[in-house]
Each structure stands twice: as C-alpha cells, then as structure tokens.
Amino acid sequence: MNFTPFPEIKTERLLLRQLQSSDCEVILFLRTDKDVTKFIERPEHRKTKTLFEAIELIQEFDSYIERNSSIIWGITLKNEPSIIGTICLWNFTQNDKVAEVGYDLDPRYQDKGLMSEALKAIVVFGFRKLKLEKLEAFTHVENLPSTQLLGRQGFIHNVSRKDLDNTSNIIFELGNPHITSQ
Ligand SMILES: CC(C)(COP(=O)(O)OP(=O)(O)OC[C@H]1O[C@@H](n2cnc3c(N)ncnc32)[C@H](O)[C@@H]1OP(=O)(O)O)[C@@H](O)C(=O)NCCC(=O)NCCS
C-alpha cells in the first residue's frame, strides 16, 4: 500500500484531493459545527478547537499518508478550490485487508448525493487499487443520513457485531465482490 504520490480522484462532480494547510478553516468548521458533529463522539484530546489545532491536525494527517497508515481526501466541487467535506480510510488491519471509512460534509452541500458520489469512488479505490477484502463503517444508530448513505452503497449492518468502545454505534460492512473469502 502506497499513498505517494497522493491518489487524487475525480468523479462526475467532485475532485477528491489532499488536504492543505489552507483548508484549516473548513476543517475547524467540520469538527466543531453542532450539526456535523451531532453523532460523532471524540475524546477530549481528539477535539479541534482552534485554527492552529486544525493546521496541526492536517499535518498529522499528512504524516499518516507519508507512512501509508491512513488516508484522508478533501472533497471539493470540480473547479472550486475550497473543500466542502472530507472522506477517509483508516483503522487498517495489520494485514491491510480491512479498513474503516469515515466522512463528513458541510450541511450546505448535503442532500445532493455528493457524499454518495464520493463514497462510491472510495469504495472502488479501496477494492480495486488497495485490494481490500472488506470495508467497514461505524456509525451512530440514530444517524439516519449516514446509515442511508451506507445502505445506498451496498453496506450491510452486521447485527452480530458490537462496538464495545461506543455502544451507540452500529457496524456496517461491505465485502469486495472481486475477492471471494474462504
Ligand atoms: C452522513 C452525511 C455525509 C450524508 O450526507 P448526504 O448528503 O445525506 O448523503 P448523500 O450524498 O448520499 O445524499 C443523499 C441525499 O441526497 C439526495 N440526492 C439528490 N441528488 C442525488 C443524487 N444525484 N444521487 C444520490 N442522492 C441524491 C438523496 O435523495 C438523499 O436525500 P434523502 O436522504 O432525503 O433521500 C452527512 O449527513 C454528514 O456529513 N453528516 C455529519 C457527519 C457524520 O455524521 N458522519 C458520519 C460519521 S460515521
């Protein structure tokens, strides 16, 4: 697995690109806005409260990308420089066969199918380029937009799995159709 050079991804309406320090204001917004964070629980030390901390966070993301341990894309509308959200693959298992997907979108751009478009592209990237066997998503049981988004992309709620770290979460999974597990 190698995230250098950074794998930019284009879809019909979007460009998924590497975050830059200049994205700090939107990153701070996405991590503090009460609607965006309504169902996202972060421990105190993972909270971003200032622009400086947002820049530090982007630098931290860069270091993970350099080490190929996780990857986050800034989501932009094609031909518009500002990011409107993010999508990431992280929590890779040691054998790099399973990863978790995470995402957030500025509410002004929700309900337009944009995250569906981004997630579809990341699923293709994860399965075709990274040859993942499975993608997972942990989401709050009441986070309807998120569970619907996952359902639209074919993710299935695995009722037999529990998130012991957060019992409000449910776990969705999507297997790579090109790899048959034994
Ligand atoms: C989860 C989240 C990204 C979903 O965003 P979203 O905009 O609802 O997702 P989609 O891109 O799939 O858009 C779907 C909606 O757009 C509508 N839509 C309009 N045009 C569409 C198109 N071309 N294609 C698909 N859907 C379209 C759909 O009908 C749907 O609306 P509905 O739910 O009223 O039926 C968003 O709610 C969010 O950022 N939440 C806060 C962060 C968060 O909770 N993240 C999850 C952490 S686990």
| pLDDT tens sequence across 108-130 | 999 999 999 999 999 999 999 99
Q: Ligand 1, residues 73, 110, 135: which to mutate, most atoms within 8 A of Cβ?
A: 110
In this prediction the pTM is 0.97
User: Which residue ranges form the domains of the chain, and what is each CATH number?
Assistant: 9-131 (3.40.630.30)
Cβ of 40 below 6 Å from ligand 1: yes
- The structure tokens 């999507």 sit at 174
For residue 107 and ligand 1, the question of a CB distance below 6 A is answered with no
What is the phi/psi pair of residue 44, to 5°?
A: -50, -45
pLDDT digits (tens, 9 = 90+) for 33-69: 999 999 998 889 999 999 999 999 999 999 999 999 9
